Amino acid sequence: MYGGNIRLQPTFTIDGFDIIEDDVKYLKKTVRKLPVTAHVSSSILVKTRDQANHIIRYADVDENRKLDHVVLIVGTGREMNPTQAFIPISIQQIVDCYDMYKNELAEGGRPKRSFRYIAYTNQGRVYGEADYPIRDGNYIRKGECATETLQPTFTIDGFDIIEDDEEYFKKTVRKLPVTAHVSSSILVKTRDQVNHIIRYADVDENRKLDHVVLIVGYVTRDGVDYSKILNSLGPNVGTNGCFYLERSTDDPSGTAGIARQCCYPLKQGFN
């Protein structure tokens, strides 16, 4: 129970809801975007215990079924595991196949250029790291482009850019992760801060945007809003690879310039 003078902020908001009735095709398309609640017959729980790998076929279910149990649909067919936050894409494939990378050893890159290559030169095809792994340990050396026999993991239709607009940046991150350039000086600040939190006042004003991160969400702690950042240096930097930048609406570029140069993919339909 909450009482006294404690005031809670909502975790998130919704603008409404939609209902799907007797339309399995629309249900499948919707589940590709987000989880969906559904009523099913509780008899499938018994069927599940009888089936190998917990698979239930249409023919296994009684025709006269009562919808008396609620479940959450989190994927269809070959969708990603619901416990897996992201599908790592192949950096090696971009380095191999993108003419911009002409050097023997690639040490970083620019998300905007990579998005441009994927969306336009590569017809939107994106390959997963599992199908096109790094060849040489942690170093990404340019090699021969080898996608002839591969099917793309997914496709995109284009990309968009956010420049010096933290409000639009915030709205976009509510929908999907966003890549951004930040000052690498925040990595030093992160090690000095409790819980890997960086306040706006902690960052040097004259900052160089020389490090790429992925913004994956928001959190609020002690009444202060933060962007949750997935670092590109691995799980040993920050909290499981993440740290938190204060969201500043007074500065359109955001803390450490987080909203100065951002990119995110566009997708109009389904793969």
pLDDT in tens, 223-235: 888 888 887 666 7
Q: Is the domain of 175 the same as that of 149?
A: no
Question: pLDDT digit string (tens) for 142-198?
Answer: 888 999 999 998 899 899 998 888 888 888 888 888 998 887 777 676 665 667 888
Q: Is the domain of 1 the same as that of 73?
A: yes
Write out the residue range of the structural domain in which residue 125 sits.
Answer: 91-156
Tell me if 133 is assigned to some domain.
Answer: yes
Q: Is the domain of 201 the same as that of 181?
A: yes
Would you state the pLDDT for residue 59? 72
More confident residue, 129 or 233: 129
Query: What CATH number is attached to the domain comprising 237?
Result: 3.90.70.10
* Residues in CB range of 5: below 8 A, 6 or more apart: none
What is the pLDDT averaged over residues 120-129? 91
Would you state the pLDDT for residue 80? 36
Lowest mean pLDDT among 89-98, 99-108, 110-119, 201-210: 99-108
Would you state the pLDDT for residue 183? 79
Q: Is the domain of 235 the same as that of 199?
A: yes
Nearest to 158 by CA among 113, 119, 117, 125: 119
Q: Is the domain of 206 the same as that of 251?
A: yes
* pLDDT greater than 90 at residue 125: yes
Tell me if 249 is assigned to some domain.
Answer: yes
Would you state the pLDDT for residue 4? 56
Task: Outline where DSSP puts E strands in the chain.
Answer: 36-41, 67-73, 105-106, 125-126, 140-141, 154-155, 158-162, 178-183, 197-198, 209-221, 224-230, 242-246, 262-266
Would you state the pLDDT for residue 124? 92
Residue 262 and residue 167 in contact, taking contact as beta carbons nearer than 8 Å = no
Q: Which ranges constitute the DSSP H helices of 53-110?
A: 91-97
* pLDDT greater than 60 at residue 83: no
Q: Is the domain of 59 the same as that of 134?
A: no
Of 141, 156, 171, the position where a domain reaches its end is: 156
Q: Is the domain of 181 the same as that of 133?
A: no
- Counting the structural domains of the chain, the total is 3
Confidence of residue 242 (pLDDT cuts 50, 70, 90): confident
Q: Is the domain of 57 the same as that of 123?
A: no
Q: What is the pTM of this model?
A: 0.61
Would you state the pLDDT for residue 201? 79
Would you state the pLDDT for residue 118? 92
Confidence of residue 18 (pLDDT cuts 50, 70, 90): confident
Q: Is the domain of 240 the same as that of 200?
A: yes
Tell me if 129 is assigned to some domain.
Answer: yes
SS3 48: helix
Q: Is the domain of 261 the same as that of 167?
A: yes
Q: Is the domain of 126 the same as that of 96?
A: yes
Of 104, 135, 156, the position where a domain reaches its end is: 156
Tell me if 26 is assigned to some domain.
Answer: yes
Tell me if 271 is assigned to some domain.
Answer: no
Tell me if 110 is assigned to some domain.
Answer: yes
Q: Is the domain of 200 the same as that of 233?
A: yes
What is the pLDDT averaged over residues 67-96? 68
Of 82, 110, 141, the position where a domain reaches its end is: 82
Tell me if 113 is assigned to some domain.
Answer: yes
Tell me if 109 is assigned to some domain.
Answer: yes
